[in-house]
Structure 1
Amino acid sequence: MAKLGEGDKRWIVEDRPDGTNVHNWHWAETDCLDWSKKFLSNLLSNKTLLSGEGNFYIKTKKIEKLEGEAYVNIRKGKIIPGYELNLVLSYEAEAKDSDGNSVILSTEGSVEVPYISDENAGEDPEIRITIKDDGPIGRRLKEAFIAKGKPLVFEKIREFVDAMAKGGPAKDDLEVKKVSAKKPASGSAAASNNNAANNSGSSAKESKKKVEKRKEGFKTITMSEKFSCRARDLYEILMDENRWKGFTQSNARINKEVGGEFSIFDGSVTGKNVELQEGKLIVQQWRFGSWPDGVVSTVRLTFDEPESGVTVVKLTHTDVPEEDRYGNATVVENTERGWRDLIFHKIRAVFGFGI
């Protein structure tokens, strides 16, 4: 990222007069929250864990809550899932006497998985298990659920993570496209195509290599930063034109509406708001002027306030090209440094000095 005020021409955005989406680089996002609720409900609801073993009867009931966000970005066949979910599952537990005839305790409990995230896709998430009756038998029922139910919850969450990695609800559309692309032509046209394919095998291989190379030329930047401020204040400083000018000491134009466009760092970066939730979420398209034509990245900022006056911001910046239009291979490094030094550290200085 160029230093502010230098006016480096490589960072000037060059608008295309024809507005063409070159090489179809723009991504398509599918909202997966409703699909996630149905998917996880099918996996976790009404599952029997114990049916008389030790005179205990434990069964999951239903998903009481699934809040947060879940989406899948697909561009040129590349799947980029994103999700941050809070799940609450209820269960019922019953204990009978030694003869198995009389019920000595019937109670309920809940399972909370507060943070199911794509950032921790390879790890078992934190889990909290509670029960309404905290007496001796209730505690034994809770321990029985931990032994039987906890592994089940982790197993089903892993199935959800795998399904999201394959495209979630957008998977079917991808499969249809693949089948259509492979559908052979009929009659003489098919024979002609087969002959052409046989005669140009090496060319096809070269073409495949080039496509794979293009897909491999992008990186994802992730960061997590903590600030001594309220989440809504941090959200506002990033979305307010005058405040952005103040802490970056550069010109900026920012539209606060979904679909609104922005220009920051004296026009070096332009983009559009994709999704906004005040104090919680910013999703934007970002483009640097030095990038190859048509290349647009996705910036996702989530705001979490674990305690009053403390905010944790998580950044995911996807589809950052490894090289700019001039062949310089420092784009990812410079972009990461720009986020750290020109944005996060300067915001922290603002709040640190009480401005």
Structure 2
Amino acid sequence: MHDFFFYGTLCHPPLLETVLGRAVELHPARLADHAVHWAAGHSFPMILPRPGAVAEGMLVRGMSDEDVARLDFYEGGFAYHAHDVAVGTDGTTVTARVFFPDPGLLDPGAPWSLADWVAEWGEIVVSTAGDFMAAYGERSSEELLARYPQMLLRAASRLRARRGGPAAIRHAAGAEDVAVHARHEPYARFFAVEEYDLRHRRFDGSMGALVNRAVFILGDAVTVLPYDPRRDRVMVVEQFRAGPFGRGDAQPWQLEPIAGRIDAGETPEHAARREALEEAGLALGEMRKVSEYYPSPGALNEYLYSYVALTDLPDDAAGLGGLEDEHEDIRAHVLDFDALMALVASGEVANGPLILTALWLQRERAALRAEE
């Protein structure tokens, strides 16, 4: 049997239960001459030696070999490995295993706060841990670590989706209306593919036959069309797109709104503002929601939040942009509104979010200009 001292995210009982697959009893404990900080640039903590400091945490006693294997799988994915240390609890000292980050991989940030982490990251990380541990025994923790940001995004999208939407005329689904018999993940890199063997409720009230359905996992994303109501012009961006290329399109460069995936821990509006700076060096003004929707629900889990942003667009607003470390090569165009609609009519604008947003702007344009 093994004793463990936890000082960071695993002090959160729902996360520890997800990793272990069972609930355990936690006892307050302290590790002398150590301090806990946020790992700079990350959503988790690190522990480091610091004479005179005390790291507060939780002790779990009597862990099984299977518990240890599951912990090693989860923590090993983040390049954390366990070492034996002396931990104080209930006036006594015990030897317990503590996960330390591999040397030189992380830099310390601000002092750690479990309460702050729970408020901002708790639900997302617990949901992600469920996906992480579902691969226990099938994939290496190093493989999962390589796509952990995408796994966080997947979990954040799933949590946003839980609220559902109105069901005035469509079937108001209940938990018993879809029965999943098996789930597989045959492909998982930057994107993923999930396969389900499932039954679902039919309109006659019966449960349908067992069917296999595949879903391409993209996560939630945002699009934003900057619009200058005073000058009556918009900004669109142009870039090479793998989708049209893979279709065999002779013109794989696309005109689009500014767009990007919504990172875990940010709102759709925050993501839109971040993407505008990254893609076009543009600081957006007031944002108006166009719609939120599934662009292709037959096979994609992608869910889009589309906006128009009231933004100053002078003659020199257009230029080149994109992030070098993401191999982005983006060109911005500033167009009169009538020129945008001519491109929609000609088919040169050939993607759903920009067409939808342009038509919304066509409807709302007079009102937006009257506000000036």
Structure 1 length normalisation: TM-score?
0.21
Higher relative contact order (CA 8 A, sep 6+): 1
| Greater C-alpha Rg | 1
Higher helix share: 1
